[in-house]
Amino acid sequence: MYFDESKGMHYDPKNANRHEINGVLRGFFGYDWRELQKGPQWAPDESQAVTMPCRAGQFLIFPTTLMHASTPHAGKTKGMRLAVAARYVPTSVELYGNMKETNIVYELGGSFSLAQYGAVLAAGRNEHTHNRIRTHTTRGKEFVNAYPR
């Protein structure tokens, strides 16, 4: 791994998509991932990059450790892209443990409340009590577990 995520990053909204690399504007919502690089001169070998074009309705699934990026939207419309990040972990993992007292997460230059947050049991049993488990959506629809509890 070429990044040290324990370093933290400096948030500067003026830097969003303003860093040019090889003629392409890069950036991530005011963050510069180079601040996390273990070696300041390291750069990925972009000749090894693989393009994965997707048509409307298609999607990719990949692990979070995969270095990834996207080019500007090439469609004829100015439609948006949607990204969904899902994390699947064993119930033994404590989620947001150090933030339960404040119930607020500060991240990516903003914040969000954990008041309505809860993990959803995708399969198996939860034999731990350290995470809030949601059994219904915020609109009251029950999550159906594929396996009995």
Q: Is-contact 105 115, C-beta < 8 A?
A: no
Q: What DSSP state is assigned to residue 123?
A: S
Please compute, for residue 121, the number of CA atoms within 13 A of its CA located in the half-sphere on the CB side. Answer: 22
Q: What is the pLDDT of residue 74?
A: 62
The mean per-residue pLDDT over the stretch 118-140 comes to 87
Greater confidence (80 vs 51) lies with 51
Q: What is the pLDDT of residue 39?
A: 79
**Could you read off the pLDDT of 65-92 as tens digits, one per residue?**
777 777 666 666 666 667 777 888 888 9
Residues, the chain: 149
C-alpha distance from residue 4 to each of 7, 22, 37, 109 (Å): 6, 24, 6, 19
The two three-digit tokens of residue 77, written as one number: 């419309």
Q: What is the pLDDT of residue 114?
A: 83
pTM of the entire predicted model: 0.53
Range from 49-53, 63-67, 145-149 that averages highest in pLDDT:
49-53
Give the C-alpha separation, 121 to 81, whole Å.
28
Measured in degrees and rounded to the nearest 5, phi and psi for residue 135 equal: -110, -10
